[in-house]
Amino acid sequence: MAELYDMIHPGEGDTSTVRSVFLIDPTNKIRMTMTYPKSTGRNFDEILRVIDALQLADQFEIATPVDWQRGDRVIVPPNVSTADARAKFANVEEVKPYLRWADNPAK
């Protein structure tokens, strides 16, 4: 894959580890990229967290906040009215008109 996407840096051997992670959805759209220094390992818990958040957002029209974990509350995007949010989600809390929390719909 690294050669296919021309990710091997010039002068590096073919056995050199590529430290970039790409999440590509079924429509071939890149949804996330992460690049680490060669000396640093990748955080697989973070990769799984992002996959969970993307799948939840795609399924329910929500957003996830920083440090979100599976099962945590979610954010209702500004393009969804508060009335629609209350019809779609449980326990909607309006902090500001543009910031509304709701219970995780996948629970």
> For the chain, give me the number of helices (H) and strands (E)?
2, 5
Residue 19 — very low, low, confident or very high, per pLDDT cuts 50/70/90? confident
In a domain, 5, yes or no: no
Question: pLDDT for 20-68, tens place per residue?
Answer: 888 999 999 999 999 887 777 888 999 999 999 999 999 999 999 999 9
Question: pLDDT for 5-17, tens place per residue?
Answer: 776 666 666 566 6
Closest CA to 54 of 34, 24, 28, 76: 24
The CATH number of whichever domain residue 107 belongs to comes to 3.30.1020.10
Which range of residues forms the domain containing residue 77? 62-107
In a domain, 12, yes or no: no
In a domain, 70, yes or no: yes
In a domain, 16, yes or no: no
Give the Cα separation of 105 and 92 in Å (integer): 11
Give the Cα separation of 77 and 21 in Å (integer): 27
- How many Cβ atoms are within 10 Å of 50's Cβ, its own excluded? 17
Q: How many domains does the chain have?
A: 1
